[in-house]
Chain A
């Protein structure tokens, strides 16, 4: 068989070849290490490395023992911290001694000369490739893969169809119904009291002083056994009271507030983080995740950041006992946009 390297002539593309380029001068003369020349030093290195390995063993044993010297005492957080730190440090020191010892052994004492190995072109040699082609041809002939086209194509068809049942099987990853029908409703409805998050204490309109903000959940969510977080993820509301002259209300939403008290969904219309930061001087809400800002004085219009829509407003009123209640559910889906949002 011919020399492998001469099997193929590969194109060098737009590479420049210069016949007069400098030639590889060959290997540099070997540098002797200190430990190669002085047996004394080599013995010293050997002793040092053995010491590191011994130390590593001792430290591993120490890490075991330290568990009993610094035990975790239930209820004592400091004990957890000490256990973590001292056991960890001993293990780390043991590992490092082991590592330094091994690397030092390799660098200082093991055979230090560079060795050379030939490379070969990655492709198989011509004979191997020819045999591979031959095998495929034989397999083709014996199976009739290209000759029996109907057989082959029906097999491909069957294989393509095989995963189809999975689509039906995976449907039950989620319960019956669709997400859209769930996303359009929250726990808010007519007469539901606005209560403090998380303790569920109802809020009197008179408690809401100008400039204050309340984190609010619907009264009927308290004690919900099933899907509490799911409902809270849609129903969380921010309640703020602005001076009447600061509030610019649209005509059709005049009746949605009470005496300067407004309620807006707390779930960002960008990707759903809670818009939790209220700046009472500017009446701006800031989402800490991506810094979208909403202007409470102007129906929570987006004034900065990646959000595209205002926060939905919850229409509120006051009941006979002076508590704040919802007039209805939100009139649009809360939270991040989705494909069928306004269908």
Chain B
């Protein structure tokens, strides 16, 4: 391991008025806060560089944009279900009965300077927030960055993902338009399906019957106070743990499990990250000024009777809606006079199981490998074929559910029947994850073999030479040792052996662990070792 020492930069001691002022202010603050300690601790902290490490940053920055634009919206939005006659600029809805919430959203959209822009910024930023968290989670999953010591931070990030969806759904409901009202209607239907408590929860949530007069102000309090407070608190913990654990880095020359190689916070990382905030903000602003999102004026106020064809939730709720759509008919039965709505309970349980497995995955893998070491090197997905395959299966499962939420649009776009689309997706929901698992594993193993080939034989140089004996051969260019290192430095596991414990017994747990371990590590490709490389050279 080599450790490069930082060169001490000799700061020029300027005596200009500006420097004296800055020095004076710094001294004033430090004498009251001892902030110099924080600067010393954080100022030159190192952050490794990789494009995929920006996904979490996108999530963080879009959240800041959400806070800024959301604050603007609260100045004009009225979270009330009091019935009013609309009397604003949007002519098609003039004189119509609606809630104050919907009316104030219309006024905010059409009569407030920058109102439409801020609404669109808020909505687009929210969509980006959830998307960025999802991609960030996929990056962490597929590179094994959730391993010790980062399991807890994975769980915190996971809770943030759930909170982001909750924030999204509550915010989506606030305009009290026809589309979001139907969304709430669906939530009410799902709540009512819960055995024993569902009817009461619905009654309390809506303050009486659906839709009542209370749900919008209640969701508003959740949306702008309780949920953001939780999100901010958890982001803070997420960041603190990031600083304590330091960021993972990909394997590379000079990079080890015991160092971090990259840019210091001051100045490079701060400039890049600060600049990136403005890039994210700018892109959101660009989208918001050019592309309409959630045109609530087209939908009209909520009314339990009409609905438009092709209704869909925002994308991140799609997987849950798709699960509802994929249930077969008639899954409801009555026991002793009580109704069990399996057509809703099964989706709820399956979705819960799915997300709980995602949440606890780090602990499952830690149990399987039995590896108690700290891991700071982000793995290339191919080097853990089984994990990558499990991830691919999970992504596929989610994708099929997601397609399910668009079943009617798929049917109309491809001029086929809705029944055919649903049946296909029902089959795919079971079959596709298995196929994805199998394929991803094969691909990962094949890529590992390719890496071995490269390390052992180098690149094909496209140069064919004829040997004196008449034989033709393509010259291979060997990799240099830095490139080689990127391809051979990965963790390798073997299936755990089944051994009796201290009391001479083989427990069921050990048996399970052994068979799961075999499932994980039976097929594996070993990294190239010195001997192989040397024998190639001769």
Is B509 on the interface with A (CB-CB < 8 A)?
Answer: no
Residues of chain B lying within 8 A (CB to CB) of residue A339: 192, 194-199, 338-339
Q: Mark contacts of A66-106 with chain B using CB atoms, 8 A cut-off: 1 yes-contact digit, 0 otherwise.
A: 01000110111100100111111101111110111111111
Name the one of A271, A288, A304 contacting B408, with C-beta atoms under 8 angstroms: A288
Q: Bin the interface of chain B by size.
A: 35 or more
A83 and B114 in contact (CB under 8 A), knowing A13-B372, A24-B254, A25-B253?
Answer: yes
Known contacts A16-B492, A106-B268; A180 and B305 CB within 8 A of each other: no
CA distance A325 to B19 in the complex (A): 88
The answer for the CA separation of A98 and B116 in the assembled complex, in Å, is 24
Interface centre among A100, A106, A273 (most CB of B within 10 A): A106
Taken together as a complex, chains A and B put the C-alpha atoms of A292 and B185 apart, in Å, by 16
8 Å CB interface, A162-219 against B:
170-171, 173-175, 178-180, 182-183, 197-198, 215, 217
- For residue B127, CB closer than 8 A to chain A, the reply is no
Q: What chain A residues lie within 8 Å of B186 (beta carbons)? A: 271-273, 289
A-B contact count (CB 8 A): 394
- In the complex, what's the smallest C-beta–C-beta distance from A21 to chain B, in angstroms? 5
B272 touches A122 (CB 8 A): no
- Tell whether, in the assembled complex, residue B205 and residue A119 are in contact, meaning their CB atoms are under 8 Å apart: no
Give the chain A neighbours of B192 by CB distance below 8 A. Answer: 336-339
Minimum C-beta distance from A278 to chain B (A): 12
Interface status of A110 (Cβ within 8 A of chain B): yes
Whether A96 touches B2, Cβ cut-off 8 Å, given contacts A21-B527, A83-B114, A110-B267, is: no
- CB neighbors of B among A92-139 (8 A): 92-96, 98-107, 110-111, 114-119, 121-122
Q: How far is it, in angstroms, between the C-alpha of A215 and the C-alpha of B376 when the chains are bound?
A: 63
One digit per residue, 1 when the CB lies within 8 angstroms of any chain A CB and 0 when it does not, for chain B 230-261 equals 00000000000000111000000111111111
A266 to B307, CA, bound (A): 11
Q: Chain A nearest CB: distance from B467 CB in Å?
A: 30
Given A236-B305, A266-B305, do A98 and B278 touch, yes or no (CB 8 Å)?
Answer: yes
A84→B494 contact, CB < 8 A: no
Q: How far is the CB of A51 from chain B (nearest CB, A)?
A: 15
Does any Cβ of B come within 8 Å of A341's Cβ? yes
In whole angstroms, what is the CA distance A68 to B374 when docked?
59
Give Cα distance in the complex from A110 to B271, angstroms: 9
Q: Mask for A219-234, Cβ within 8 A of B = 1, else 0?
A: 0000000011110111
Q: Is B337 an interface residue (CB 8 A)?
A: yes
User: Which stretch from B10-18, B388-396, B477-485 is at the chain A interface?
Assistant: B477-485
Residue of B nearest to A74 (CB): B89
CA gap between A319 and B373 in the complex, in Å: 83
Most buried by B among A91, A232, A335: A91
Nearest CB on B from A177, distance (A): 9
Residue contact A277 to B309, C-beta cutoff 8 Å:
yes
Contact (Cβ within 8 A) A102 B278: yes
A176 to chain B, nearest CB (A): 10
Q: Could you mark each residue 260-278 of chain A with 1 if its beta carbon is under 8 Å from any beta carbon of chain B, else 0?
A: 0000001100111110110
Q: A171: which B residues are within 8 A, CB to CB?
A: 204
Determine whether the beta carbon of A119 is less than 8 Å from that of B203: no
| Whole-angstrom CA separation of A114 from B212 in the bound complex | 60
- In the bound complex, residues from chain B placing their C-beta under 8 Å from that of A84 are 114, 116-117, 120, 289
Given contacts A92-B285, A291-B418, contact A103 B272 (CB under 8 A): yes
Given A95-B281, A233-B209, A271-B185, verify A24-B111 contact (CB < 8 Å): no
**Residues of A within 8 Å of B, CB-based: how many?**
111
Shortest Cβ distance from residue B510 to the other chain A in the assembled complex, whole angstroms:
12
Query: Which one of A76, A271, A304 lies within 8 Å of B344 (CB-CB)?
Result: A271
| A305 at the binding interface (Cβ < 8 Å) | yes
The yes or no answer to A343 lying at the interface (CB within 8 A) is yes
Residue A340 CB within 8 A of the other chain? yes
- Given A273-B185, A306-B328, A338-B199, are A18 and B485 also a contact pair (CB < 8 Å)? no
B207–A197 touching, CB < 8 Å: no
Q: Report yes or no: A10 in contact with B373, Cβ–Cβ below 8 A.
A: yes
A24 touches B285 (CB 8 A): no
A residues 127-159 in Cβ contact with B at 8 Å = none
- A96-B268 contact given A87-B114, A306-B325, A336-B189, CB 8 Å threshold: no
Query: A77 near B2 (CB under 8 angstroms)?
Result: no
Question: Does B90 contact A270, Cβ atoms closer than 8 Å?
Answer: no
Query: Which B residues lie within 8 Å of A76 (CB)?
Result: 89
- Cβ-defined contact, A13 with B496, below 8 A: yes
Q: Is the CB of A337 within 8 A of B339?
A: yes
Is there an interface contact between B324 and A306, defined as CB atoms closer than 8 Å?
A: yes
CB distance from B327 to the nearest CB of A (A): 4
Nearest chain B residue, comparing its CB with the CB of A287: B307
B290 touches A (CB below 8 Å) = yes
Query: In the complex, A198 Cα to B301 Cα: how many Å?
Result: 13
Q: How far is the CA of A264 from the CA of B438 in the complex (A)?
A: 49
Contacting pair A274 B304 (CB below 8 A): yes
Q: Is B208 in contact with chain A by the CB < 8 A criterion?
A: yes
User: Chain B residues near A96 (CB, 8 Å)?
Assistant: 278-279, 282-283, 286
| Contact between chains at B324 and A271 (CB < 8 Å) | yes
- Which residues of A lie under 8 Å from residue B311 when comparing CB positions? 273, 288-289
Q: Cβ of A307 < 8 Å from any Cβ of B? A: yes
> Which one of B131-139, B220-228, B352-360, B528-536 contacts A?
B528-536
| Chain A nearest Cβ from B418, distance in angstroms | 5
Given A13-B371, A22-B533, A122-B245: A77 touches B90 (CB 8 Å cut-off): yes
Are the CB atoms of B262 and A115 closer together than 8 Å? yes
Q: B279–A119 contact, CB under 8 A?
A: no
Interchain CB contact under 8 A, A118 and B211: no
Q: Is the CB of A12 within 8 A of B373?
A: yes
Chain B residues near A271: list those with CB within 8 A.
185-186, 188-190, 324, 344
Q: Does B462 contact A (CB under 8 A)?
A: no
Interface flags, B13-48, vs A, CB<8A=1, else 0: 000000000000000000000000000000011100
**Given A25-B485, A95-B282, A308–B190 Cβ distance below 8 Å?**
no
* A11 interfacial by beta-carbon distance below 8 Å: yes
Chain B, residues 60-93, CB within 8 Å of chain A (1/0): the string is 0000000000000000000000010000011100
A to B CB contacts below 8 Å, 24 in the list:
A13-B496, A14-B371, A16-B493, A21-B488, A26-B254, A67-B113, A72-B113, A84-B117, A88-B285, A99-B279, A103-B272, A106-B269, A115-B6, A115-B44, A115-B263, A173-B205, A174-B206, A174-B208, A270-B343, A276-B306, A290-B321, A291-B422, A306-B329, A340-B199
Contacts A104-B275, A276-B307 supplied; 20 other A-B pairs, CB < 8 Å:
A22-B489, A71-B113, A86-B289, A95-B278, A102-B272, A106-B271, A115-B4, A116-B5, A118-B3, A118-B260, A173-B214, A174-B206, A179-B200, A179-B209, A197-B305, A271-B188, A273-B311, A291-B325, A338-B192, A341-B339
Contacts from A to B (Cβ < 8 Å): 5, 10-16, 18, 20-22, 24-28, 67, 71-72, 74-77, 80, 83-89, 91-96, 98-107, 110-111, 114-119, 121-122, 170-171, 173-175, 178-180, 182-183, 197-198, 215, 217, 227-230, 232-234, 236, 266-267, 270-274, 276-277, 288-292, 302-309, 335-343
Chain B residues in contact with chain A, CB under 8 A? 1-6, 44-46, 83, 89-91, 109-114, 116-117, 120, 149, 182, 185-186, 188-190, 192-200, 202-212, 214, 244-246, 253-264, 267-269, 271-272, 274-283, 285-286, 288-290, 302-311, 321, 324-332, 334, 337-339, 341, 343-344, 369-374, 376, 407-408, 418-419, 422, 481-482, 484-485, 488-489, 491-496, 517, 521, 526-531, 533
Q: Which 7 A-B pairs have the closest CB atoms?
A: A88-B289, A271-B189, A13-B370, A102-B275, A99-B278, A95-B282, A308-B332
